[in-house]
Chain A
Amino acid sequence: MGLFDLARKRSPWLIHYDCGSCNGCDIELLSCLTPLYDVERFGIVNVGDPKQADILVVTGAVNQQNKDVLKNIYDQMPNPKVVVAVGVCACTGGIFRDCYNVVGGIDKIIPVDVYVPGCPARPEQIIDGIKLAIDKLAEKSAA
């Protein structure tokens, strides 16, 4: 339905989870909400509840302690949903990939739709990535 697709594009709610990040990417991500970048004008809202979110934005590498947590949050999200990995650590494990407790990038645990590299990823890149995610969301729900 055309109306629902329009609504899905205009109202992407995201939930942000910090896996094992050094917080560099988190700071860049949260600055998107500030007046300088202001993603709310796209309808993006950072809800903290996975049950109400469409986009899961993850920063940081997955390690043995939080892999179940990540899976838990992903499972609680209703369909259709997309996952965005922000920062090199979330994409591949980054600089911490060979550590003893690090599992790797988040795609080892959950399916990822958009990879946003960078250390830290810049806000413009993050917004670009989320925009790609919104398009993917539309594709998924059309399917």
Chain B
Amino acid sequence: MTSLVRIILGLIVFPVIGGLIIGIDRKLTARLQGRFGPPILQPFYDVLKLISKQRLAVNEFQVMSVFIYLASSALSLVLFTLRSDLLMIIFVMSIGAVFLVVGALSVKSAYSQVGAQRELMQMLSYEPLLILVIVGMYLVTGSFNIGIIMQRGKPLIEELPLLFLVMIIVLGIKMRKSPFDLSASEHAHQELVRGLLTDYSGAYLAMIEIAHWYDLMLLLGISALFFYPYTVWGIISALALIALEILIDNVTARLTVKWMLGYSYGVGLVLAAINIVIVYFLR
């Protein structure tokens, strides 16, 4: 596949699939609650409607932050499809995450501010875990480059099962699903009004939603990487992860920041440590 095809795949096709996955998410959530739920294309309707509304921003830095968030999330997914360095991709994704917080902090509304502080705590929870997942992949394959990781021949899950479990935690925290939906919650569940996203409206909120799709697909891509070269199993595992997240989302309640930090460091970091140490000594 040429680079241009890959770029189009990463820039346009995958986020659309991401939107569909979120639509399926809402449908599945509704079914779990005994309702019919919105159509699967609902996220696209939402985004289009938001684009058509009057654009209101509080200040210029909000707008700048949204654009940087969208650009870096899109770039990280495109780099993923172009098979670049995984560690670089994670750091590029973090540019956007930081600017989302900065944009929310730049507004003098109590809801944005508290939401932004909580988002910082969420970043603190998932970033080390994500870096350690990448490091685990390196220890097993000898490279950070996706192209070389994919040449391994055997699926990574054989040697890194615990790190796959850690990915579940990372996905939950990054996607803001219960019990980790502290900084902003999904539709119809309000946390601090809309928390981090309170002062965004119109097209800017649409851009944040699209960036969210890019992030989702990136994390699912990294999870699917655990099963390469069995691509079918990879896709199945990604969908299974989504289904698991939806289930956990509907069954648990929102917990506190302290619990989230304790859980991600107490459980996530320990699992990652055990797996990495075992891999280290087996080599």
Contact = CB atoms under 8 A, between A and B. Distances in A.
A40 B38 contact: yes
Contacts of B202: 78
Interface string A6-29: 111011010000000000000000
Contact of B38 (A3, A41, A79): A41
A43 interface: yes
B38 A43 contact: yes
For the residues of B in contact with A, the DSSP-based class is: loop
A42 B49 CA distance: 14
8 contacts: A4-B51, A7-B48, A11-B42, A40-B26, A41-B39, A52-B50, A78-B55, A79-B53
B201 A141 contact: no
**Which of A1, A10, A46, A52 has its CB near the most chain B CB atoms (within 10 A)?**
A52
A4 B35 contact: no
Contacts of B39: 10, 41, 43
Interface residues of B, number: 35
B190 A47 contact: yes
A7 B190 contact: no
Contact of B194 (A10, A38, A48): A48
Interface string B53-79: 111100000000000000000000000
Contacts of B190: 47-48
B52 A45 contact: no
B28 to A, nearest CB: 13
Given A38-B36, A41-B37, A48 B49 contact: no
Given A38-B36, A79-B54, 7 more contacts: A8-B52, A38-B35, A40-B26, A40-B36, A41-B39, A43-B39, A52-B201
B33 interface: yes
A128 B192 CA distance: 30
Contacts of A78: 53-56, 201-202
Contacts of B56: 51, 78
Contact of B45 (A10, A40, A54): A10
Contacts of A1: 52
B194 A4 contact: no
Interface string B172-211: 0000000000000001101001100111111001000000
Contacts of A68: none
A48 B190 CA distance: 7
A43 B40 CA distance: 10
A8 B47 CA distance: 10
A4 B48 CA distance: 6
Contacts of B54: 78-80
B34 interface: yes
A78 B46 CA distance: 15
A70 interface: no
Nearest to A51: B201
Interface string A87-121: 00000000000000000000000000000000000
Given A6-B45, A10-B42, A35-B34, A45 B187 contact: yes
A8 B49 CA distance: 5
Contacts of B205: 52
A41 B36 contact: yes
Shortest beta-carbon contacts, A-B, top 9? A7-B48, A51-B201, A78-B54, A10-B45, A11-B45, A38-B35, A4-B52, A11-B49, A35-B34
B42 A49 contact: no
A33 interface: yes
Contacts of A11: 42, 45-46, 48-49
A47 B51 contact: no
Nearest to A7: B48
